Structure formats: structure tokens, C-alpha cells
A and B are shown apart, each in its own frame.
Chain A
Amino acid sequence: MFDEIDAHAREAYPEECCGLLIATGEKKVVDCVRMKNEYPGPKQDRYHIDPLELYRADRAASQRGLVVAGIYHSHPDYPATLSRFDMDHAFPWYSYFVVSVGSGGTKDRRSWTPNEKRTGAAEEPIEVVEG
């Protein structure tokens, strides 16, 4: 899974990539879906997902008995933390998986859950399991 997200981040570099984390109800990510970065301005430090595409992906996940558990995006030449812009546009029920990427590849990966008021986010541990 990480390989797919890393590849997406490298392909999009120096722009941000974005996509969805598809998971079981236990928040076990079993698939990831690439989304197009629709941000109308410079994409080096911004991303935007078309709400309709998000809705379609959500429906597709539901049909597979899965859920959209979170959103991943890359931070080119920037740490894998949530920016103020990320926080202002975050939904507290999603996990936000951020990949720090440079010209040499992925540097770091972290996952965050914003609080209700979008004033902060808690880092959540990442585990990788077989199967």
C-alpha cells in the first residue's frame, strides 16, 4: 500500500498528490484510490478533491463493504505534518495520511486525526499487517 502512495507522491512531485484510503470498519486500510488534484492554483502546496469524485469513491467503497477512512496527500519538500490550510479544510471523521516527499523520494509518513474544532490534530500510530 505504501508503495502505491509513495509512487503517486513521486509522480506528482513537485506538486501535491492526493487520494483516498479505503478501509474495513476496523480502520484497516485495504486499498487506496488516486484522486486528481483539482486545486485551481499552484499545486506545489495545495490540493483539492472534487466532492463529486469523493462521493463516487465513497459509494464504490460502500458497494464493496468498505469505507473511505481517510485522505492521503503529499507534502513536497515539507514535513509530514498538517498545515494550517490542511487543518482549516479537514473533516474530523477522516484520518489524514501525509507523505513527505523530496526529489529523492519519500522521507516520512504520518497520519493525523483533526479535532472537532479544527484547532489541532492528534497523530495516530500506523501499523502494517499481513493480509
Chain B
Amino acid sequence: MTTATLSTEPIGSIPRPPETLRAVDRHKYPIMNPCSQGTITFSKVRRADTKDSEESV
């Protein structure tokens, strides 16, 4: 007969939320890596109008 024993050892380390977010977003937004400092560009024309028209369809 086999006896199961509950281990008190942690199954795995759970990253703190900020680190998890950082890892995810680094993957998602590679251009936002602070190593690649650049210019932020603003379009004079908002694309919101396009969005609104899409939503109204």
C-alpha cells in the first residue's frame, strides 16, 4: 500500500504581478523596450472617426 505524503515544499515560484506584467508586455510591445529610445509621433488626424464608423456598422 502506498501512502501519499503532502509536501511542504513550494510547487513553484509565483512571480510577483509587476514582473509578470513586465514579461508579458515586453513580448507584446518590443518597441517599448526602454533600450530603444526614440521619438513619439502624433498624427494630426485621429483614427477615432474610423473606429466610430466601424462601431456603427
User: What number of B residues sit within 8 Å (CB to CB) of A?
Assistant: 23
Complex-state Cα separation, A30 to B40, whole angstroms = 11
Q: Does A129 contact B41, Cβ atoms closer than 8 Å?
A: yes
Complex contacts, A64 vs chain B, CB 8 Å: 47, 51
- Pair B40/A4 contact, Cβ less than 8 Å: no
Interface residues of A in 1-31 (CB under 8 A from B): 1-2, 4, 21-23, 25-31
Q: Is the interface of A mostly helix, strand, loop or mixed?
A: strand
Q: How far is the CB of A37 from chain B (nearest CB, A)?
A: 20
Q: Give the contacting residue for A93; candidates B33, B42, B45; CB below 8 A.
A: B33
Q: Would A97 and B46 count as touching, CB distance under 8 A?
A: no
Q: Does B56 contact A (CB under 8 A)?
A: no
Question: CB-nearest residue of chain A relative to B43?
Answer: A30
Contact of A2 among B41, B42, B47 (CB under 8 A): B42
Q: Chain B residues near A125 (CB, 8 Å)? A: 39-40
Q: Does the CB pair B32–A127 fall under 8 Å?
A: no
Q: Which of A39-47, A77-85, A98-106, A107-115 contacts B (4 or more CB under 8 A)?
A: A107-115
Q: Find chain B residues with CB under 8 A from A115 CB.
A: 34
Q: Using CB atoms and an 8 Å cutoff, list the residues of chain B in contact with chain A.
A: 21-22, 25-26, 28-29, 31-34, 37-48, 51
* A interface, CB within 8 angstroms of B: 1-2, 4, 21-23, 25-32, 64, 66-67, 69-70, 91-95, 97, 111, 113-116, 122, 124-131
For this complex, 5 residue pairs linking A to B, each with C-beta atoms less than 8 Å apart, are A1-B43, A29-B41, A31-B46, A122-B37, A128-B42
